Amino acid sequence: MLELQLLCICAVITAVMLGLRLGYVVFKKHTLLLLLFGVSGIPDMLVTVEFAYLHPELEGNPLTKLFLGLPYMIVVGVFLWAFVWITAAELLERGGHGTLSQIVLLLLFIGHLWGFSTWMGRLSGTAAVIVLSLTISTLLLLYYIYRVTVVRDGRKKAEQQ
């Protein structure tokens, strides 16, 4: 199951990198809210894969159930989930609805926090440590990618002037 969880983490990283590559301003304007989305979303995704993969009846989210029943489709679902919500926040931001963008990201944080909490009773001590380690590692990697991208873009703008 760890291999599948790692593939799902790669899907999250790919979604974030695509948003950064497309120049999404939401990363600069709402960094903390996106971080909170990751803090609750990554562990929720990891435990959902652990306990509901190929057993969609255990998952409460009907959209997620669509991707859990077929082999490896959860990786596609994770990518789409992350990228579509980041894109929705970006479109709201560009449309002049920054407050609504913030509310969406905050609700994603709360929803994933609640989703993760529903699995807590099933987690063993070892599984909890693995989820925590993978979450922290992924967030640090995403932060590094974000910083490198922002620094690179800043240098390009400075060179152009």
pLDDT of 118-154, one tens digit each? Answer: 888 888 888 888 888 999 999 999 888 888 887 777 7
In angstroms, the CA 153 to CA 134 distance is: 28
pLDDT digit string, tens, across residues 84-120: 999 999 999 999 998 999 999 999 999 999 999 888 8
Residue 61 has a pLDDT of: 87
The reply to whether 68 falls in a domain is: yes
The reply to whether 156 falls in a domain is: no
83 lies in which domain range? 2-151
Q: Band the pLDDT of 20: cuts 50, 70, 90.
A: very high
The reply to whether 159 falls in a domain is: no
Of 52, 59, 112, 114, nearest to 81 by C-alpha is 112
The reply to whether 161 falls in a domain is: no
The reply to whether 11 falls in a domain is: yes
The reply to whether 53 falls in a domain is: yes
pLDDT digit string, tens, across residues 36-55: 999 999 999 999 999 999 99
The reported pTM is 0.85
Residue 143 has a pLDDT of: 87
In angstroms, the CA 45 to CA 112 distance is: 8
SS3 content of the chain, % helix, strand, coil (to 5): 85, 0, 15
Of 66, 99, 106, 86, nearest to 26 by C-alpha is 86
The reply to whether 158 falls in a domain is: no
73, 115, 140, 150 from 157: Cα distances, Å: 39, 41, 26, 11
The reply to whether 89 falls in a domain is: yes
Say how many domains are in the chain: 1
5, 34, 121 from 87: Cα distances, Å: 23, 12, 33
**Residues 7 and 79: beta-carbon distance below 8 Å:** no
